[in-house]
Amino acid sequence: MPRSLLPAALRGFTLLAIVLSLPVTAATPLTPQQWREDLAVVRAAIESTHPDPGHSTDVAALERALADTERVLQQPLTPDEGWRVLARLNPLFADAHWCICYDDWRAETRNLLSGRGLFPFAVDVGESGSLIITQWLSGASTPLAGTRIAAINGRPTAEVLGTLMARVHGDTPRFRTGVLSQRFGFYYSKVYGTPAHFDIALAAPAQRLRAAANTAASTGNIPELAEVPRFDDAFALTLLPSRAAVLRIDTFAWPDKNRVVAFHRDAFERLREAGTHTLLIDVRNNGGGNDDQWIEGLLPYLASTPYRWASGYRKKILEKYRKDGETVGTVVDGHVERLIEPQLDNPLRFTGKIYVLIGRSTYSSAVLFANVMQDFGFATLAGSGGAARTRQSGGVQRTVLPHSKLVISVPRFILQRPSGAAMPALVTPDLVVADDVLQPQHSVEHVLHQRAAPPAPLVNR
């Protein structure tokens, strides 16, 4: 890869000075040579895996950033300190499937909770630069919900968010605010460390409070961090008045597909028995997973015409996925011709009004699901868009860096949405419904009040 410089704000030893001014961790530092070897693995992983870096990034800017990062790694740094340098590449990758991250952020967060603790509140990071308290980290409610944070430990919110957002991965700034909202305590601790107490300045009304860091003992079990997740935390069917229902699906990556398929079958039996006319499928917090969980679990009850999950692809040929006649390292473009037939005779097929509710955290396979439902006219897409690309990357390959044990994740293919349309580039709802992080049920109520007619399908039947 050719090499040059990062943008002005990151040039040369300015970046190193920023890193070294942040808290020093107790881990053993790695030598500059070890960091250069790790960076070489990052380069090799990108070159050998990604079919088209220009899909999401400015390739020339990336080359310059990689070169400047190598020049910065000139003195011993711990893994956390080195991550603060390497993670500056994440926003430039501009793809949530492409990042330099920790091997398991949930495990890292649990370790932090078991130690000195984390920032005590769950928060929402707004696109305008706001930082709003939503609840206690434990999930308990607080009268401070909705209050804007002006500063943390003497640092203005704008400074804190600017520093953290510069290291978050994701397709767009809007998507990255969702990632940081979900993982705020983790990012804050990795960049600023975790004091025993936090001095928090609040705005409107202006006041100050001192709160102890939340530890595992004081927080209890947080569903998002569970080592063994509970099925009921990710899947739920709620029957509402007026023959409406909400089917919440927070993941397509549940380890037991058979249980997912059985849950959906039971859900659609309950919908038939209840005489449900309007169904909202809530994937606002669904970060994706395996396509077969919605192709086999949902579409048998939703599809009314033949459909396909994509119209085309671009892929890099890797040895472990190589087919006869393919050459490792080449990039192949192809079309998806096979259509999946609907189960029109399925007695549980839902024939009422369907909405798919999306948000800034809808991603990966959940975007593919939304594409199918929108492109074939199976549902009205509702919610907030502008966060993720409709042309999703996938087939993520993870490479552990040999010395730091950080991970570089790189996608091996890019998919074109079923309609083949290039625009809009970002997932865009048919019915725009603003996010309400404090009252997420309001989005459901808004959709039910609209009851808009379904849009025309984007794919010729």
Whether residues 298 and 206 fall in one domain:
no
Q: Is omega for the bond preceding 418 within 30 degrees of 0, making it cis? A: no
**Structural domain contains residue 411:** no
Give yes or no for a contact between 413 and 386, defined as CB atoms under 8 angstroms apart.
Answer: no
Whether residues 119 and 70 fall in one domain:
no
**Structural domain contains residue 226:** no
Q: Is pLDDT at 55 greater than 90 in this prediction? A: yes
Mean pLDDT within 401-420: 97
**Structural domain contains residue 92:** yes
Q: Is pLDDT at 13 greater than 50 in this prediction? A: no
Whether residues 203 and 237 fall in one domain:
no
Q: What's the rounded Cα separation, in Å, for the pair 144 and 128? A: 20
Whether residues 364 and 435 fall in one domain:
yes
Instruction: Convert the pLDDT of each residue in 87-102 to its tens digit.
Output: 999 999 999 999 999 9
Beta-carbon-side half-sphere exposure of residue 164 (alpha carbons within 13 Å): 28
Mean pLDDT over the full length of the chain:
91
Beta strands 380-383; 312-316: pairing state: unpaired
Whether residues 268 and 300 fall in one domain:
yes
Whether residues 282 and 372 fall in one domain:
yes
pTM equals 0.90
Check which CATH number belongs to the domain holding 125 and give it.
2.30.42.10
**Structural domain contains residue 376:** yes
Range of the domain at 204: 105-162+170-216
**Structural domain contains residue 27:** yes
pLDDT above 70 covers what percent of the chain?
91
**Structural domain contains residue 316:** no
Give yes or no for a contact between 314 and 331, defined as CB atoms under 8 angstroms apart.
Answer: yes
Number of domains the chain contains:
3
Whether residues 83 and 201 fall in one domain:
no
The confidence score (pLDDT) of residue 154 equals: 95
Check which CATH number belongs to the domain holding 302 and give it.
3.90.226.10
Domain end, chosen from 65, 81, 101, is at 101
Whether residues 32 and 118 fall in one domain:
no
The confidence score (pLDDT) of residue 459 equals: 62
Q: Treating both helix axes as pointing N-terminal to C-terminal, what angle do 59-72 and 32-49 enclose, rounded to 10 degrees?
A: 160
Mean pLDDT within 358-366: 98
The CA distances from residue 376 to 296, 349, 458, in Å, are: 17, 16, 6
Whether residues 254 and 300 fall in one domain:
yes
Check which CATH number belongs to the domain holding 24 and give it.
3.30.750
Mean pLDDT within 264-286: 97
Model confidence at 225, in pLDDT bands (50, 70, 90)? Answer: confident
Q: Which of 96, 94, 93, 77 is nearest to 85 (CA)?
A: 77
**Structural domain contains residue 324:** no
Whether residues 96 and 133 fall in one domain:
no
Domain end, chosen from 56, 74, 101, is at 101
- Where do runs of H (alpha helix) occur along 29-172? 32-49, 59-72, 79-86, 90-93, 105-114, 157-165
At CB < 8 A and 24+ separation, what contacts does 209-215 make?
211/120, 211/121, 212/117, 212/120, 213/116, 213/117, 213/118, 213/119, 213/120, 214/113, 214/117, 214/118, 214/119, 214/120, 214/136, 214/137, 214/138, 214/185, 215/113, 215/114, 215/115, 215/116, 215/117, 215/118
Q: Cβ of 31: how many Cβ atoms within 10 Å? A: 13
Kindly write down the DSSP assignment for every residue of 311-339, as one continuous string: SEEEEE--GGGPPTT--TT-EEEEE--PP
Model confidence at 10, in pLDDT bands (50, 70, 90)? Answer: very low
3-state class (DSSP) for residue 43:
helix
Whether residues 176 and 201 fall in one domain:
yes
The alpha carbon dihedral of 8, 12, 17, 22 has a sign of positive
Beta-carbon-side half-sphere exposure of residue 449 (alpha carbons within 13 Å): 8
Whether residues 284 and 372 fall in one domain:
yes
**Structural domain contains residue 208:** yes
